[in-house]
Amino acid sequence: MSEMANESTGRAQQAGQTAKQEASATVGQAREGASRVAGTATDQVRAVTGEARAQAGAMAGDLRTRVTEEAESQTRRGAQVVRQWADDLSGLADSADADSPARSLVSQAADRGHRAADYLDARGVGGLVDDLQDFARRRPGAFLGTAVVAGFAVGRLAKAGGNGSGHSAPPRPSTQSLSGDAAPQLPGHGEA
């Protein structure tokens, strides 16, 4: 019986060794699989991040293009409006008396308006921005003063535009009747 016991012990040891080797191989395969999954996940994260950056860059470029196109369109419209005002001023100067001092001033304003419209058409918004930056570098005090005055003027125009006519609303008619009777009292606001 002892031989049987030795044989059984040998088989058990051999089975244990085999199980150990298989467990070790399984752990190795699991590590290798986990490493591959981690590598794949890292690659996917990099790919998604790269794609997101590329799309964000494309969107930023598209937005920049749209803003530039809109600014150029607004500049062209502004040049048309300035040109129309200058044409109106020229017509006004032409119809004024020849010896009128106002005619000279209106004529000069019309000429400057035409030059401003031509400048906007030729240089566009990019040229305008470049010239403003150059002026701000050369004369910062004058630039800031002009910006303050322009901001004040725009604020006043916006405020005037908000009221419709730029004046306060006329007073509302009195609730007092024509015969001089007092208006009805609101509840809780009786005479003192």
Per-residue confidence in pLDDT tens, the chain, 192 aa: 566 666 667 777 777 778 777 777 787 788 887 788 888 888 888 888 888 888 888 888 888 888 888 888 888 888 899 999 999 988 888 888 878 888 888 889 999 999 989 988 888 888 888 888 998 999 999 989 998 998 988 888 888 877 654 445 455 555 444 444 444 454 544 444
User: What confidence score (pLDDT) does residue 183 get?
Assistant: 47
Question: Phi and psi (nearest 5°) for 173?
Answer: -60, 150
Q: At what angle do helices 2-95 and 101-138 cross, to 10 degrees?
A: 150
Q: Terminus-to-terminus CA distance in the chain, angstroms?
A: 124
User: What confidence score (pLDDT) does residue 145 get?
Assistant: 92
Instruction: Give the Cα separation of 146 and 151 in Å (integer).
Output: 8
Task: Report the C-alpha dihedral over residues 124, 129, 130, 134, rounded to 10 degrees.
Answer: 140
pTM higher than 0.75, yes or no? Answer: no
In the structure encoding, which two tokens stand for residue 188, read together?
């809780």
Q: Which residues contact 131 (CB under 8 A, 6 or more apart)?
A: 123
Give residue 6's Cα distance to chain centre.
86
User: What confidence score (pLDDT) does residue 179 get?
Assistant: 46
**Maximum CA pair distance of the chain?**
144
